[in-house]
Amino acid sequence: MTNTTQLETILGLDIGERRIGVASAHLQALFPHPLTTLADPQTFIADIVALCISERVAAVVAGLPRGLSGQETAQTAWVRQFAAEIQEKLTVPVYFTDEAVTSEKAESELKQRGKPYEKGDIDALAATYILEDYISDHPEQKYD
């Protein structure tokens, strides 16, 4: 990805082996919102690169799963490897943040809304929480 246009957003990713929830936040407001859910593992990398171009992404934040005691697990290693593959295709940084209970929090919120939802909606909202947590934990972070 080349930086030929003004960078405008950061992306949050809730990375799973079957789906990836994606959230976005505009650099001027840094208010995350669900963007989409990617559901074809064969095209995950290409889809993320395309989103980074179309959304003019300055940085990517990936949720990092951990075990119940905070330890890294096989899933943590898989997400780190996947993020490294993304990083190879991008010229923007990829950051990590803890994704503890983001999916559970997202599903709880969607249930409270009382409207029908699908698993992809949970993933996109979880990505929103991942991005929100990163922004909150790194208020000094510069993305441009």
If we measure between CA atoms, which residue out of 18, 63, 24, 46 comes closest to residue 143? Answer: 24
* Bridging pattern class, strands 33-38 and 20-26: antiparallel
Range(s) of the domain holding residue 33: 9-137
If we measure between CA atoms, which residue out of 15, 40, 35 comes closest to residue 25? Answer: 35
Token look-up 């441009």 returns 144
Query: pLDDT per residue over 30-39, tens digit each?
Result: 999 999 999 9
- Using DSSP, state whether 15 is helix, strand or coil: strand
Structure tokens that stand for 101 in this block: 């209970």
Whether 123 contacts 18, CB under 8 Å: no
pTM: 0.89
The reply to whether 1 falls in a domain is no
How many structural domains comprise the chain?
A: 1
Domain of 73: which CATH number? 3.30.420.140
Average pLDDT for residues 132-140, to the nearest whole number?
91
Query: pLDDT per residue over 84-124, tens digit each?
Result: 999 999 989 999 999 888 888 898 999 999 889 999 999 99
The reply to whether 3 falls in a domain is no
Cβ neighbour number for residue 79 with a 10 Å cutoff: 23
